[in-house]
Amino acid sequence: SQQGEEDPQALSIQEGENATMNCSYKTSINNLQWYRQNSGRGLVHLILIRSNEREKHSGRLRVTLDTSKKSSSLLITASRAADTASYFCATDPTDSWGKLQFGAGTQVVVTP
C-alpha cells in the first residue's frame, strides 16, 4: 500500500510563481525523498531529507519535514515551464530498509 499522500493532486500555475505541494505519511521513517517524473519517463531524484532534518534547500527547491505531524512540503520557487511534471514523495520506512513507499503524486503544470 502507498504510504505517502500528496496534496494537491494537481496544480496549475504561471511561470515565475511558486509551487507548493505537501506530503503526509503514516509510519516512522528514516528519510523522505522527492522525485520528479516527466510524462512517460522514469523518476528523477530531487532531494532527500533525513528524519532528523527539518529543512533542506537545493537550488530552487525547498523541502521541509515535520516528523511530529508526519508531513513534508516541497516548494519550487520561481517556477519555469520546464518544471511541468509530476512530483512524488517517497518515504523510507524504518521497518523496511530501502523499500520506498510512494505517494500518488502532484501533477504540476506551469504555463508560460
Residue 93 near other proteins by CB under 8 A: no
Residue 98 near other proteins by CB under 8 A: yes
- Rounded distance, CA 107 to CA 109, Å? 7
- Looking at the Cβ atoms of 79 and 107, the one nearer to other proteins is 107
End-to-end CA distance of the chain: 37
- Rounded distance, CA 95 to CA 92, Å? 9
Of 21, 71, 92, 93, which lies in the binding site for other proteins, with binding defined by CB under 8 A?
Answer: 92
Residue 104 near other proteins by CB under 8 A: yes
Bridge-partner residues for 66, per DSSP?
71
SS3 83: helix
Interaction site with other proteins (CB under 8 A): 2, 30-31, 33, 35, 40-45, 48, 50, 88, 90, 92, 97-105, 107
